Structure 1
Amino acid sequence: MSRILIVDDEASICFAFREFLADEGHRVDVAASAEEGLRLAEDGPPDAVVLDVRLPGIDGLEALAEFRRRIGPVPVVIITAFGDLDTAVRSMEGGAFEYLVKPFDLDRAADVVRRALELPRADGRPAGAEAPGDAEALIGTSPAMQDLFRSIALVAPTEVPVLITGESGTGKELVARAIHRHSPRRAGPFLPICLAALSPGLVERELFGHLKGSFTGADHDRKGLLELGSGGTVLLDEIGDVPMDLQVKLLRAIEHREVTPVGDARPRSTDLRVIAATNRPLGELMAAGRFREDLFFRLSVFHLHLPPLRERRGDIPSLAGHFLGMSRVSGAADLRFTGEALDELRSRPWAGNIRELRNAVEHAAIVSRGQPIRPEHLPSPSGGPGRASTPAAGAIEPLLAEWAGQQAARLLDEPGESALYERLLELAEPPVLRAVLGACRGNRARAAQVLGIHRATLRQKLNKYDVS
């Protein structure tokens, strides 16, 4: 039996954890403040701590360091209703085992506690330095953004390459900048390189540099961008557009941290961290022989996929307000959106994602002329994936119709049998549940929201079909 300490001023959270974990045979102590939790911990060190951020008196992030000092490397799970990138980073740098955002699925939270209890007691991470600077450019409270914040907090302190994928306009460069800003390299340069914008004939010289006399017009030595980025982070944007011959040289530069300028036989060492980004389907490019597998695996040690804006519509009001505050239009910061305008913003497909939303807000700030922003002040919506029917939906309909017709004909010949609808559910529901759970990374609360059913209903269906 393990001893678990829950520190939260919400009685309902404490009650839920206590009931759930006690059923699994654990001893659960609860505290309504960090001060009370520290006293309980000193009386007998727990095997795991669940710690809220917003607490009366000392907040959870301050208490995290104090728990570390008093009881050593006991795993601490941070929970908060106000998740942002700074909180995630401070939690992970402070040595938190995991970071959960309310409202969370209790099954998932309990699973996190179970994994924390499986850690060897010596597996604690030391408390980190003070939190890095502001992260206001990344806005969102949706589950997808909370997962992104947590991932940035995990990978930023490391040196591993990161691959960022997502549609155009989803903020891939902002994420790369956030990784750099929260990394040990923050004092060094951040150098974004749009590979697609470089001339095919010049891209090698731009990246690796050249020696004087190496080609006509080379009247002096010139360092390449990869050498200029030494000591910092380089973003290789649009990596999917790199020619095959250059991919070999990029792979060597990343693996061996050295570059060879054009016209030179001697490689030069360079100290840089590489982040790559693309909106291209690299899997399809590899299958077509247009992108090297070894380069892909070298770049994708840690993969971040950014969701399109249409998949996190709940973040649109806060993003729109943020863009108003940043607008170059005089007086825009004092404007506000009407409820109808916000409904319109939430309903649009946003094919251009965050970039399109920002442009729409700028347009509305100009047209509204100081008045509250209404739907007619917004530019006309563009089409896009958000309102298009998917090929899969069109393909599955005739198959379902054929199956239903065959089953109905058989049941008509066998009057004792029925329940065709129940058979359809038993056939269709399990793969749908598995797919949605996979897309939501096992977050049952988010999966229930996507499916449009209550969490209790989802739990019943998962148990019925034995879907884990």
Structure 2
Amino acid sequence: MSRVLIVDDEASICWAFGEYLGDLGHEVAVAATAEEGLDLARRQPLDAVVLDVRLPGIDGISAMGAFREHVGAAPIIVITAFGNLDTVIRAMDAGAFDYLVKPFDLDQAAAVVQRALEIGWTIAGASDPALGREPEERPSNRLIGSSAAMQALFKQIALVAATDVPVLITGESGTGKELVARAIHEHGRRRGRTFLPVCLAALSPGLIEGELFGHLRGSFTGANQDRKGLLELAAGGTVLLDEIGDVPLGMQVKLLRAIEHREATPVGDARPRPIDVRFLAATNRPLTELMAAGQFREDLFFRLSVFPIHVPPLRERLDDVPVLAKHFLTMASPRQGQEVSLRDDLIDELTRRPWLGNVRELRNAIERAAIVARGGPVLPEHLPPSIDLHGRGAESSNARGLEEVIARWTENALKEPEAVEPSNEESTLYDQFLAQVEPPMLRTVLRRQGGNKALAAQRIGIHRSTLRQKLRKYGLE
């Protein structure tokens, strides 16, 4: 039996954790403030702590150091209703085992606690005081969102920022891959040095080597003096190799050597020079398909993807659209920084659109709407026409196709005798139909909500207990 302390000022959270973990055989203590929790931690040994961030008095993250003095290496799990990248980074740097955002699914939260108790925890954070400082960010240069997809992204950034391993950032155009790279740099040990994004696709194939590695005087026509490459100029900092999927095969070999051996050989020189940079790479192209076609080296792919991060498209985090739109409208307002509000009809229109251009398209649409509104309230008619790369009829065509599939399935099912005269309740035509359509819908919604059953039930429009029953019924738990 393990002792778990729950520190949260919401009585319902404490009660739910207490009941659930108690049923699993754990002893649970609860506290409404950090001070009360610290008092309990002083008086009895604890195997794990679940700690809210927003608390009366001392906040949870500020109290983590004091808790660590009393609980030693016991895991501390941070929970909050106000998740953003800075909070995740601070929690991870302070040595949090994991990070949960309210409203969380109780099964998922209990599984995190159980895993923490099973494997224990060795403090990995807070060893470098530089990591505890918050970066200076321009308002337009930060990642925004509180959806499950963004919380998962924040956690990945927090985990990898303190390391020096290469990171491969993938995602569609306009999702914010460079912002992810910048966040990794600004929350890491190299934050005080250069962050250098290099768009490889914008460089001529004949110039990429000289730009990256530099050249000696006389190495080619027009080389009138020695020149350092970008990898040397970014010494001590971070280099983002943007559009890595567009690099010619010959250059991929030299990039691989630079990443593997931390050295660069200027054009016209036979002597490699040591370099001290962190490598990040980004692409919107399917590298696995390029490898299969012989257009991208497998060894470079595996070297870059030590820690892969996929940035979700905006259509998979529509809950973030209103807060993103409000942020962009604030930035575009003539009275920049002044609080703005969005009308309900504008939010409805924004969340209805497919946003195939992702966050970039949303930002452009809001900036255009702000100009057309001329300082007044932004209305749906101020937005530019929705962009549909597949044609305006795609949605209705898909609906017709689905209707035809259902009709054919029904015709085939009606040919079976038991569909007309069911032998039992479970074999009715309606039950057979639900068994076909519910599992893929449930899987998709759960995936979109990051496995959070509470949010999935809310999105579907059913009670959480009903969702659990359906998941058990179809073997999806």
Distance of 2:280 and 2:185 partners within structure 1: 9
Does the aligned pair in 1 maintain the 2:149–2:448 contact within 8 Å? no
Q: How many residues align?
A: 466
Distance of 2:429 and 2:36 partners within structure 1: 58
Partner of 1:419: 428
Partner of 1:20: 20
Query: What amino acid sits opposite 1:127 in the alignment?
Result: A
Does the aligned pair in 1 maintain the 2:148–2:450 contact within 8 Å? no
Q: 1:110 to 1:206 in 2, by over 3 A?
A: same
Q: Does 1:133 align with 2:135?
A: yes
Question: 3-state DSSP class of the match of 1:55?
Answer: coil
Q: Does 1:180 align with 2:188?
A: no
Structure 2, unmatched stretches of 5+, are: none
The CA deviation at 1:82 is 0.5
CA deviation map 1:221-265 (0-9, x unaligned): 111112222211110111111111111111111111111111111
The CA deviation at 1:444 is 2.3
Distance of 1:390 and 1:56 partners within structure 2: 52
Q: Does 1:47 align with 2:47?
A: yes
Does the aligned pair in 2 maintain the 1:238–1:279 contact within 8 Å? yes
Deviates more, 1:31-40 or 1:381-390: 381-390
The CA deviation at 1:2 is 0.6
Distance of 1:392 and 1:226 partners within structure 2: 49
Q: Does 1:457 align with 2:466?
A: yes
Does the aligned pair in 1 maintain the 2:47–2:71 contact within 8 Å? no
TM, length-normalised to structure 2: 0.91
Query: What amino acid sits opposite 1:331 in the alignment?
Result: R
Query: What amino acid sits opposite 1:4 in the alignment?
Result: V
Query: What amino acid sits opposite 1:405 in the alignment?
Result: E
Q: 1:244 to 1:452 in 2, by over 3 A?
A: farther
Question: 3-state DSSP class of the match of 1:186?
Answer: coil
Partner of 1:30: 30
CA deviation map 1:149-196 (0-9, x unaligned): 111111100111111111111111111111100000111110000011
Partner of 2:308: 303
Matches within 5 A, 1:370-389: 370-384=375-389, 388-389=394-395
Matches within 5 A, 1:80-229: 80-120=80-120, 123-128=122-127, 129=129, 130-134=132-136, 136=139, 137-229=142-234
Deviates more, 1:339-348 or 1:104-113: 339-348
CA deviation map 1:10-68 (0-9, x unaligned): 00000000000000011000001111111111111210000000111111011111111
Q: Does 1:330 align with 2:334?
A: yes
Matches within 5 A, 1:347-426: 347-384=352-389, 388-389=394-395, 401-411=407-417, 415=421, 417=423, 418-426=427-435
TM, length-normalised to structure 1: 0.93
Query: What amino acid sits opposite 1:338 in the alignment?
Result: R
Distance of 1:305 and 1:330 partners within structure 2: 35
Q: 1:32 to 1:382 in 2, by over 3 A?
A: same
Does the aligned pair in 2 maintain the 1:349–1:386 contact within 8 Å? no
Does the aligned pair in 2 maintain the 1:332–1:365 contact within 8 Å? no
Distance of 2:396 and 2:382 partners within structure 1: 31
Query: What amino acid sits opposite 2:123 in the alignment?
Result: G
Distance of 2:421 and 2:365 partners within structure 1: 60
Query: What amino acid sits opposite 1:297 in the alignment?
Result: F
Q: 1:74 to 1:394 in 2, by over 3 A?
A: farther
Query: What amino acid sits opposite 1:46 in the alignment?
Result: L
Could you tell me the percent identity over the aligned residues?
63
Distance of 1:147 and 1:307 partners within structure 2: 10
Q: 1:72 to 1:290 in 2, by over 3 A?
A: same
Does the aligned pair in 2 maintain the 1:192–1:237 contact within 8 Å? yes
The CA deviation at 1:339 is 2.5
Distance of 1:182 and 1:308 partners within structure 2: 23
Query: What amino acid sits opposite 1:293 in the alignment?
Result: E
Deviates more, 1:349-358 or 1:189-198: 349-358
Residue 255 (structure 1) aligned to one of 234, 237, 260: 260
Distance of 1:415 and 1:106 partners within structure 2: 42
The CA deviation at 1:451 is 4.3
CA deviation map 1:268-306 (0-9, x unaligned): 111111111111111221222211122111111111111
The CA deviation at 1:405 is 3.1
The CA deviation at 1:421 is 2.5
The CA deviation at 1:416 is 5.1
Partner of 2:272: 267
Matches within 5 A, 1:268-283: 268-283=273-288
The CA deviation at 1:456 is 2.0
Deviates more, 1:134-143 or 1:195-204: 134-143
Does the aligned pair in 1 maintain the 2:78–2:100 contact within 8 Å? yes
Distance of 2:343 and 2:397 partners within structure 1: 36
Question: 3-state DSSP class of the match of 1:193?
Answer: strand
Distance of 2:166 and 2:396 partners within structure 1: 34
Distance of 1:293 and 1:114 partners within structure 2: 38
Distance of 2:408 and 2:374 partners within structure 1: 57
The CA deviation at 1:438 is 4.6
The CA deviation at 1:450 is 5.0
CA deviation map 1:123-169 (0-9, x unaligned): 23343533322455211111111111111111100111111111111
